[in-house]
Amino acid sequence: MAHPALLIAIEGVEGAGKSTQATRLGRSLGAHVTREPGGTALGEQVRRLLLDPASGDIDPRAELMLMLAARAQHVAGRILPALATGTHVVVDRFSGSTLAYQGYGRGLAVDEIIRACDFAAGGRWPDLNVLLDLDVAAGAARRHDEEADRIEAADGAFHDRVRRGFLELASSDPDTWAVIDASASPDEVAEHVLAAVTERMDLLGSGGRPKP
């Protein structure tokens, strides 16, 4: 039986290996691979504003709204059209990052962010969130670019709250989250990611997409 096209989000702290695994998973599935914030012309412009240290301290609500403006455009302009043609979509960060960074990290109310994410994405949530779990310091050590972007430059306590947030989100909704140990080699991580995705596909192929 043909599987419905899935929206799969790759999540995790900075440097966890999301881009690497999104690319590899996309290749394995023949999926459309994209990223957030970004993925559209508008989204990439918003990304620049959000990550540029010159933007300075952005109020958490303003940061949330910018993330979600990029998401709304991305979902409407890229993600839904790809899914409608039967193409799986692998997205490097999605709603899980908003909950972890703007909720657990910045301290905005998680229930309000859930409602805002729901509105921005027209009710579309990932069919599977793959959390690449990695110690924050280990992720930072993998970074090779010289200058940290505006969000990377936040203090260690912020990034620890983000990691804890991801783990809480995953443990509270094990049906739509898979947690993978991202400290393993890229090949091993890719194998575990594909196994989690295959399991979810089998489940959805027989039972349809459960509500988030």
The binding site for ligand T5A (CB under 6 A) comprises 12, 14-20, 36-37, 67, 92-93, 97-98, 101-102, 142-144, 151-152, 182, 185-186, 189
Of 153, 36, 40, 41, the closest CA to residue 90 belongs to 36
Radius of gyration over every alpha carbon of the chain, rounded to an integer in angstroms:
16
By beta-carbon proximity to ligand T5A, the closer residue of 58 and 204 is 58
Q: What is the spatial distance between Cα 42 and Cα 34, in angstroms, rounded to a whole number?
A: 14
**If 0-12 CB within 10 Å is exposed, 13-18 middle and 19+ buried, where does residue 97 land?**
buried
By beta-carbon proximity to ligand T5A, the closer residue of 139 and 200 is 139
Alpha helices in 2-155 (DSSP H): 18-29, 41-51, 60-74, 80-84, 95-97, 110-120, 136-141
Q: Where in 71-184 does DSSP place strands (E)? A: 89-92, 128-133, 177-181
By beta-carbon proximity to ligand T5A, the closer residue of 92 and 127 is 92
Give the shortest CB-170-to-ligand T5A separation in angstroms.
16
Give the shortest CB-149-to-ligand T5A separation in angstroms.
7
By beta-carbon proximity to ligand T5A, the closer residue of 6 and 64 is 64
Give the shortest CB-171-to-ligand T5A separation in angstroms.
20
Give the shortest CB-30-to-ligand T5A separation in angstroms.
20
By beta-carbon proximity to ligand T5A, the closer residue of 18 and 201 is 18
Of 117, 123, 85, 120, the closest CA to residue 102 belongs to 117
Of 139, 186, 138, 197, the closest CA to residue 9 belongs to 197
Please name the residue that has the structure tokens 């594909």. Answer: 194
By beta-carbon proximity to ligand T5A, the closer residue of 144 and 211 is 144
Give the shortest CB-134-to-ligand T5A separation in angstroms.
8
Give the shortest CB-60-to-ligand T5A separation in angstroms.
10
